[in-house]
Amino acid sequence: MLIDGRGIAPGSRVSADVCVIGTGPAGAVAAAELAARGVDVVVVEGGGQRYTARHADTYRGDPLGDPHDPLESVRQKRLGGTSLVWGGRCAPLDPLDLGAREWLKLEAWPLTDDELTPYYQRAQRHLDAGDYEYDAVRAGLQAAPLSPSEDLDVDRTWRWSPPTSFAGRMQELAKAANVRLIVEATVVRLERDPVGGAVREAIVSPRPGVEIVVGANTFVLAAGGLESTRILLASDRQTPAGLGNEHDQVGRHYMTHPVGEVGTVVLTDLGRRLALGYQKTREGIYARRMLALTPEAQEEHGLANLKAALWFADPMNPEHGDGLLSTFSLTYYALNRARMGFKASGTHARYAETAGLRDHVGNVARDWRRVAGFAASWAAPRVTGRRVLPSFMPLDSATCRLRFDAEQLPDPENRVTLSRRRDALGQRRLHVHYRVSDGDRTSIRRSMELIGAEFERLGLGRVDMGDAARIDELPFTDGTHQMGLLRMSDSPRDGVVDRDCRVHGAANLYVAGSAVFPTAGAVGPTLLIVALACRIADQVAAERTPQAVARPS
């Protein structure tokens, strides 16, 4: 049943066996897995069908420290959550990410790669990302025409979900007899039993000045990294510092993935044969090779993890003469002017400064056949329903750049706290204290220099990394991957949840999402988010009746 929370009478109480908070990938998958086992589930979503200015206002925050994307631009308060603007990129963390790394003074995760593998396999199905196979050759991509390298690994891939949006899936799930989906229902705090410590109620505000109550035996908090943190901090009636925060760990160790482009690359024939753009796996899934330093090279040079890929030349300067690049730049310029599009006021805000508009238009006019051909190939899957090319990626220009997605190391001083300012629902806004350290920047720069040097040594292209030093000053603002805020740990002194993603000291409260990651790795978090949601569902179902234990096929 789909219910609009604004129509529920003030002071009403809704009860279920399990309450899932959030309908993004984590919440949607946890709810679906539990419902398939016959568990009585109520799902609470703060947004509705669209992300409006009213919803965005409740997500605004107060960034401090280094620049950070506006909090309302990196999140989506609506049915399906941020899955509606997700690009679809999937990859598991490396085994190295989960282990102890003495050269970085990082301890191992409480979970191992072997323990996560069966859940990754289930996550692949939820995300419609094909087989759980991230080796390029075994996935059906052509073998790399290279001699082995001790430093550079080109055999791992990303895969792309179509991408999957969970809005439609939640609407279908709401038709089940054992599921109630309440939209326009923002959870403002959780209330716990003052004696036993278990969470008993979620206090929900469907509109200003109104509260209703959702009671349950078990709660799964899946509201996204920043919002899940805010809910725990605001749940301060019984514990003044917030739920799960007896040791001041809630909201600390905030990590994102610094991203950027540096260097110039002129591919050789060998580099072109390696096919570093998008390819399809044997089952028709878009995939792309990563460029990464081997674990041995990372340890030898004392580096954090990083994944690189070929990227197109800077589109903002019309002197490139490339109609496709000018089309890209003009498109993002227009989106920023109209304040449209995900991250238009965040990561892509620099396109508002695009100059030489007349020259860009001239480039498009002169290159119109190529632009029209690309537009047709881009539009066709959207009309036919086939898999969509993941992104704009012309690599047929004379030169390319190298783009990186880097690991940021956990730092307890990178944190979010509650502001004194409040939104229309009475929620305290978030302060974000965030910066990318000099050590992280040095690791990124050295990694890119090593990748560029080995790329050239292998004969894949001529590489100039003369601008790598600007990594020291690049504004790393992207806050779409919100990790570490409620980190997993064996002890409550070191984190917020245990190895089962259960909040220390609150045995019936689970957190599903990337906030539980102890370290960030260098790949997008969605695949692991969904894998952990499957694992949480197994744990919750195992505590229910015997009929609810069997895992759905």
Question: Any idea what the CATH number is for the domain that residue 107 is in?
Answer: 3.50.50.60
The answer to whether residue 121 sits within a structural domain is: yes
The answer to whether residue 335 sits within a structural domain is: no
Phi, psi values for residue 202, rounded to 5°: -105, 125
In the prediction, which pLDDT does 328 show?
77
Predicted model pTM: 0.92
The answer to whether residue 251 sits within a structural domain is: yes
The answer to whether residue 97 sits within a structural domain is: yes
Read off the tokens for 86: 């997700």
CA atoms within 13 A on the CB side of 375: 13
Q: Is the dihedral of CA 416, 417, 418, 420 positive or negative?
A: negative
What range defines the domain where residue 525 resides?
1-128+164-256+407-434+478-553
Read off the tokens for 515: 């906030």
> How far is residue 288's CA from residue 157's CA, in Å, rounded to a whole number?
5
> pLDDT of the chain along its 553 residues, tens only?
999 999 999 999 999 999 999 999 999 999 999 999 999 999 999 999 999 999 999 999 987 777 888 999 899 999 999 999 999 999 999 999 999 999 999 999 999 999 999 999 999 999 999 999 999 999 999 888 888 899 999 999 999 999 899 999 999 999 999 999 999 999 999 999 888 889 999 999 999 999 999 999 999 999 999 999 999 999 999 889 999 999 999 999 999 999 999 999 999 999 988 888 899 999 999 999 999 999 999 999 999 999 999 988 777 878 777 878 888 788 877 877 766 555 555 556 677 777 778 888 888 888 888 888 877 776 666 556 567 788 777 776 668 899 999 999 999 999 999 999 999 999 999 999 999 999 999 999 999 999 999 999 999 999 999 999 999 999 998 899 999 999 999 999 999 999 999 999 999 999 999 999 999 999 999 999 999 999 999 999 999 855 444 444 4
In the prediction, which pLDDT does 551 show?
46
Contact call for residues 220 and 19 (beta carbons, < 8 A):
yes
Total number of domains constituting the chain: 1
The answer to whether residue 199 sits within a structural domain is: yes
Read off the tokens for 93: 């963390």
> How far is residue 497's CA from residue 221's CA, in Å, rounded to a whole number?
12
Phi, psi values for residue 27, rounded to 5°: -65, -40
Read off the tokens for 456: 């050239």
The answer to whether residue 288 sits within a structural domain is: no
Query: Residue ranges of the alpha helices (H) in 393-437?
Result: none
The answer to whether residue 447 sits within a structural domain is: no
In the prediction, which pLDDT does 553 show?
41
Looking up tokens 């390298």 gives 149
Task: Work out whether strand 61-65 and strand 157-160 pair parallel, antiparallel, or are unpaired.
Answer: unpaired
The answer to whether residue 19 sits within a structural domain is: yes
